Amino acid sequence: MNDLKIFSGPANPPLTQDICRYLNLPMGKISLGRFPDGEISCKIDEDVRGRDVFIVQPTCPPVNEHLMELLVMIDSFKRASSYRLTAVIPYCGDARQDRKDSGRVPITAKLVANLITRAGADRVLAMDLHAAQIQGFFDVPVDHLYAAPVLNNYFSSMDLPREDIVVVSADEGGIKRAVGHATRLGAPLAIVDKRRLSADTTKPANLIGAPVDGKTALMFDDMISTAGSICSAAEVVHRHGARAIYAAATHGLLVGPAVERLRAAPFKGVIVTDSIPLSEEKLLPSVTVLSVASLLGQAIKRIHRNESVSMMFQ
């Protein structure tokens, strides 16, 4: 592991510190700042020539700032003659713009993939991309991790009676994810059928599948952004008589009215991971933050040793 170096961007240093602690490695030394006109400055404060370098930088809000910081860091390490450079992106911003759903709009996820590749990244390590096909947008290898084991282990540790659990998909797009959780937790599946009115507004319609009356409903998603969809779905599940409702997502963006919506929603608990740092005002009493540092750390170690990453999930 002596040739392995892990550096953190400004987006989420605590997560990088936890990864380094898991691997028993010191965090790499790098200085990022701003010139008087706001331009990003970067200086690597240690030798990385011939080293296997990993940069941890989720492109969470402010997305454009963190993306540009990542690109500048990648260029710095390539010019410093690192042997191999892996961009570790626990949360990939712009991933929702993965297709042309109307005329005259960009496919920003592909643009971002091109930027990261052309900047000089040799590999990408991502977690719970909004759409799995985004892996194909990159012209370099992509290792795609899932936080499902971390979320499932949390609920398993609660010792909830298996016969009282129902896994609920907040919409038809999350059915595959919900089926995976239901299979591993040994629970039946229910689906909230909803109608999308606009890009950020949906209207729940019906509840399909297993009954939730008197049950504990577990709702899974890849992210909670404005919380509109998952809170609307929770209202439907609540009206159908669920005894307790938990929401779980990998990425807790919690932007716009999300905090107010979650505070008013009938959730007994909201579980997210530390792929994105949460500010104090977003840490509601009902919010629990789980760490994915060991998951990322194990993947980094496997990549460094040229071992299989997919074996982690088998």
Supply the residues annotated as catalytic: 194
Distance CA 31, CA 25 (A): 19
Cis peptide before 204 (omega within 30 of 0): no
126, 142 contact by CB (below 8 A): yes
CA dihedral over 44, 50, 54, 55, signed as positive or negative: positive
Burial class of 254 by CB neighbour count within 10 A (0 to 12, 13 to 18, 19+) = buried
57, 87 contact by CB (below 8 A): yes
Distance CA 136, CA 139 (A): 7
Distance CA 248, CA 3 (A): 37
Grouping H, G, I as helix, E, B as strand and the rest as coil, residue 230 is helix
CA dihedral over 258, 263, 267, 269, signed as positive or negative: positive
Distance CA 146, CA 241 (A): 31
The string of DSSP letters for 5-71 reads EEEE-TT-HHHHHHHHHHHT-PPPPEEEEE-TTS-EEEEE-S--TT-EEEEE----SSHHHHHHHHH
Residue with tokens 């985004």: 134
Distance CA 60, CA 54 (A): 18
CA dihedral over 71, 73, 76, 78, signed as positive or negative: negative
